[in-house]
Structure 1
């Protein structure tokens, strides 16, 4: 890199940190998760305003690839933390009610999303018709487990029966949605040789039967010393990068390697280790890497040319995303005997998508499944479904105000911003 490029990159990163922090703080004062403001900051710095003049001035074309590399690392760390925070007990403890609600809240938006995808192929043609339809279904079906957990904590609902059920269903939803997205990636046939796909199952077996026991030794060493040493942290980060490298080489996308590495981190007797890793890695991710991801994602959003056809497509996307998820969860909850009010609250919580949706959409853009126009509309859907949770819960639970302002889902165990 030339000195001019280095200076432009450093200036761009500084702008990213300041803009996303200010926007996140502003929307937090309005009772919304800061992630909404940070995504909006990325969009406003993109080509939507002033025909891209702000983008070209702050983020010249020759530094965007470097920002993209940092954004990818931010996504890897985020997915690792999501896997790290996924409570295995929630999955093991699922009963008939949780399984029924989870499946219904996945299958209905999945089916409706796939049908919508087939309809959108007329205006957004794609050579991977099946992959495109399945991707749209997966994008509609996802629930953001981390932001949901934070919303429940902030509103004092995490110890209620509804809150616990929502967390369990969201955990199952996320596992199913990520599994479905992995199928989509396989169907679209990444640039690597098709024979690489046969390595997926051996890779998963290696992670659980070889890597996990090794990580248990790391947890035992942490218990003996009582603190997370630089060597331990380096081992975890190197393992994270290698896991992402393997899944990318296989053709499965690096986000799955990062997520699975977090999942195989030991739980029993390793609570303190996981907490320290989450705190140390999460702070860098929250303050530096994820804001870069928001802006890089925003640079690909262009809402300036959205006309009547685009608004019609957006209305259909929102109808399928919100209606499909709500109807699936609400119907299953009512059929299992939950009262209407509790069923509606559960369905509202499971409609939360947040940053998890943005990760999926970025993967779809990289895979060539989304064009810029449809990607932009889907990002708006992610924002709307995240922002609506607070007001709807306030209507369903009048007089119950949040304990604290909503917090960015990527912070996980971190304190409120």
Structure 2
């Protein structure tokens, strides 16, 4: 079987399994993403190992699937931004700042404290904290979109908090790595901050002044699906710019691109075209790909208690930290809980931070294994926890007795 036929076979299985898992998940009252994540775990090396079956000889097949999945998460976050109004998101900036900041500080502090109390090497404890501070909001964004509450106060606050979270984790990571370098730590931090500011300035300037004109000109041209094609090109460039210029996650760039496109008259056309493309192909590959990248068999049994401790800190740290930030921003207790739960998933962002620590020799293999377990569990539990939190009935408004 040729490499192309192997790819076609694996993609067919992935998409079919994703849709079946999503359907069964909705039948038991859970978001479809929960079923897709579980199916991915079953198809991965933990059980079936789809990309390494006996007749699969292409050694690059797993990497190809992973890259297609990365396109899926970029499209997912672009569509999340496209659903929102920039003015509404700016209106929740106070909540986003508080939640994003406290949602990083508390888990990082708890991780560092837990590492010190359990006798970990200081560098390991620091990187454990940094990994716990990361958030991957793509899982929560998909769940909120399914429940049709992405435009709610909680949805707006959650997505804004994720941007603050990304910025703060990158700054802390850069700061720590710079201190391990050649003594130019302060200059390195200034460079990181300057690159972030430059990215946001260029992205917003392009989105506000040039993008509407470019879209109008493209819409007038006799090009098949020209508007949608241009949207794909620009969202990919935003993702590239976020990584290369801003030093941030590409999903932050594509989310910002979606916000910029939401201001254009062509936003509905783009939404319809990309929604079909994303959810019929790329997004299922992304969610299944998360399971394909994790091998439960490789988790270190001797580090089970450390894994359980990290999982507990990961869930409580984000829920309490981001939730407290939302409460300080004048959210109700229920809304604060919902936002805090939405920040729990670490997903691919947590793995990226942990991989940096492993490559730099600042994480032990056993601790990295425990972190992988934490990332897997937090990714799996976030959708059902979020669904349950939104099912809690709101308290009735207080009734004031008439005077006299």
Indicate the TM-score class for this superposition, using the shorter chain for normalisation.
0.7 to 0.9
Aligned pairs for 1:12-31 (under 5 A) are 12-31=10-29
User: Residues 119 and 144 (structure 1 numbering): CA distance in 2 closer, same or farther, change over 3 Å?
Assistant: farther
Please tell me whether the aligned partners of residues 318 and 340 of structure 2 are also in contact (alpha carbons under 8 angstroms).
Answer: yes
User: Which one of 199, 203, 223 corresponds to residue 199 of structure 2?
Assistant: 203
- Which residue number corresponds to residue 277 of structure 2? 284
- Which residue number corresponds to residue 179 of structure 1? 167
1:264-293 Cα deviation digits (max 9, x unpaired):
3352xx2x5223222211222222112222
User: Residues 265 and 16 (structure 1 numbering): CA distance in 2 closer, same or farther, change over 3 Å?
Assistant: same
| Separation (CA, whole Å) in 2 of partners of 1:296 and 1:130 | 29
| Separation (CA, whole Å) in 2 of partners of 1:329 and 1:200 | 23
- Which residue number corresponds to residue 347 of structure 1? 337
Pairwise CA distance, 1:384:
1.2
- Which residue number corresponds to residue 33 of structure 2? 35
| Separation (CA, whole Å) in 2 of partners of 1:352 and 1:80 | 18
User: Which one of 301, 304, 324 corresponds to residue 317 of structure 2?
Assistant: 324
- Which residue number corresponds to residue 239 of structure 1? 234
User: Residues 226 and 316 (structure 1 numbering): CA distance in 2 closer, same or farther, change over 3 Å?
Assistant: farther
User: Residues 254 and 34 (structure 1 numbering): CA distance in 2 closer, same or farther, change over 3 Å?
Assistant: same
1:273 correspondence with 2:233? no
- Which residue number corresponds to residue 4 of structure 2? 6
Pairwise CA distance, 1:382:
1.6
User: Once structures 1 and 2 are overlaid, which stretch shifts more, 94-103 or 232-241?
Assistant: 94-103
Pairwise CA distance, 1:368:
5.4
| Separation (CA, whole Å) in 1 of partners of 2:336 and 2:255 | 26
**SS, match of residue 48 in structure 1:** coil
Pairwise CA distance, 1:227:
12
User: Residues 320 and 203 (structure 1 numbering): CA distance in 2 closer, same or farther, change over 3 Å?
Assistant: same
Pairwise CA distance, 1:92:
2.7
TM-score using structure 1 length: 0.73
**SS, match of residue 342 in structure 2:** coil
User: Residues 237 and 180 (structure 1 numbering): CA distance in 2 closer, same or farther, change over 3 Å?
Assistant: same
| Separation (CA, whole Å) in 2 of partners of 1:328 and 1:182 | 18
1:323-376 Cα deviation digits (max 9, x unpaired):
2333346656777887xxx5145314530258x742423533664558455223
User: Which one of 236, 248, 251 corresponds to residue 255 of structure 1?
Assistant: 251
User: Which one of 108, 125, 137 corresponds to residue 133 of structure 2?
Assistant: 137
**SS, match of residue 31 in structure 1:** coil
Q: Which runs of 5+ in 1 are unaligned?
A: 399-417
